[in-house]
Amino acid sequence: DDDDDDDDDAPGLSRRRLLEEIVAEIGASEAVRTGPVVSGAAAENDPFEAAVANDDAKGSSGGNDPDPYLTHGPSTIWNGMIYPIRKFRFAGVAWYQGESNFADPLKYSCLFPATITAWRAEFGNPGMSWAFVQLHAYNLHDWSEFRNAQASAARKLSGVVMASAIDLGDPTSPFDPIHPRYKQEVGRRLAHAAIASRYSDYGGVHYSGPRFLDVRPAAIAPEDNHGVEGLALKFEDGNGGAAPGTTHTSAAAACSLTGSKKCCGESPFSVVDADTGETKRVPFWVDNAGDNGAGKVVLSIPNVKKVKEVRYAWERFPQCLLYNGVGGYEAYTDAMPAAPWCFDVVTGAPCPIRNLPNPWAAGVRTTADMGFTTMLHELPVRDLIQWGQKDFAEEYRPASAGGGARAGAGEGADAGDAPAPDVVDTSDAPASS
């Protein structure tokens, strides 16, 4: 019997027996077989069956052969870390994920809500709250459409709230720009979103930046704006829990290090011309007058006869953001940024979720349309590790993506070129009243 106990404790063997017990328990569980393929979600296929079927002697005895238990891939996190705690009871989930799914927003717009629904079912808690982080500004790829896919989950499901990190991009992060260092501020926003979702009965909390509601034509007097027509953007009543009349602009983190480097000298608003399909950045100004507390934003629309879409912060690295409360991106201020959005003026609804034609156009060795799996499995591991290091990345990233010419930009940036935070591109727009 003592020998049997020793065998159970042998490296790898006890884990295999544990997996066999799990497989026996869950059988043909729908949670494992048909769940969505999102990190932390249930899988389409059960990798445990393949692991147990692989009767590799060295793997069973803890050898150095390839791990038969599939430590990477669909369902690994779910089966290894979430499924075992499904009997626990807790109020909600804080979720920060999506970078590896960015190339397929359409698929994610289905998988993410399915993940939430599956977790709620598996935990037997249909009211489980979800607070998730919408991905930050990223100078190496355009995540605009993916952020729209993320936001759609909050529109589709009740009890799901979103915290925006659009202003917290970090192009000089030593961990690669995909891992910005402003985690304290992300945590604050996520906590406020969760509190507002779950505990709103205990009192108000500032949980969101200005939340876009609708757009309508604005009559702009010729003497104020040279006869140029405009659009007025309306925001939800309540101002996201912030004090009324506090809508304002402030520069994004690290705006002077990437992109145009104009900070709030560049408008975050743009429109799509219905006739030409061209996207044009437009001037704007903030009007805090009104009885709903959220104020409004007025856009000046020169040289566009018919607008198809209105967009806000719909780009890789927005330079300037709309906030409410007091302050900007700095941690522990009272400010909250407006999350990026796109509105179809013709249909009167949010823009549909779309896949970019070439999501890998910058940031990898070629401009070929590489899939994430191709990148992971065909590039050497040492290259993937070094790819996130600044000196190595310069070799492969074009200047337009922050490579090559970017070297030394942080040290040599002229702060005098950056306009004051509240200066906006309103050369042909009337002054705020």
Residue spans of the domains in the chain: they are: 77-203, 206-353
State both tokens at 221: 């007097």
3-class secondary structure, 374: helix
Q: Is the dihedral of CA 18, 19, 23, 24 positive or negative?
A: negative
- What is the enclosing helix (H) or strand (E) of 2? helix 2-8
In the structure, what pLDDT confidence band is assigned to residue 237 with cuts at 50, 70 and 90?
confident
**21 or 328: which carries more pLDDT confidence?**
328
Query: pLDDT value at position 130?
Result: 93
Cβ neighbours of residue 350 under 8 Å, at least 6 residues apart? Answer: 148, 152, 155, 341, 342, 343, 344
Does the pLDDT at position 428 exceed 50? no
pLDDT of 3: 47
Pick from 123, 142, 302: nearest CA to 227? 302
pLDDT tens by residue, 93-115: 999 999 988 989 999 999 999 99
pLDDT given at position 189: 93
Which run of H or E residues covers position 269?
Answer: strand 269-273
Give the other-Cβ count within 10 Å of 276's Cβ: 12
Beta-bridged to residue 373, according to DSSP, are none
**Helical segments of 226-292, H only:** none
Sign of the CA dihedral with 329 first, then 335, 339, and 344 last = negative
pLDDT grade, residue 61 (50/70/90)? very low
Q: Which of the pair, 190 or 59, is modelled with greater confidence?
A: 190
Torsion 116-117-120-123 (CA) sign: negative
Q: Which two tokens stand for residue 427?
A: 């050369």
- pLDDT tens digits for range 249-299: 999 999 999 999 999 999 999 999 999 999 999 999 898 876 566 678 999
What's the topology of domain 77-203?
A: Rossmann fold (3.40.50)
Are the C-beta atoms of residues 423 and 267 closer than 8 Å to each other? no
Across 127-203, where does the E strand assignment appear? 129-134, 160-164
For the chain, give the percent of residues with pLDDT over 70: 61
pLDDT, greater one: 162 or 390: 162
Average pLDDT over every residue of 335-356: 94
Q: Which residue has the higher pLDDT, 326 or 226?
A: 326
* Geometric angle at alpha carbon 236, from 231 and 240, rounded to 5°: 125
pTM of the entire structure?
A: 0.70
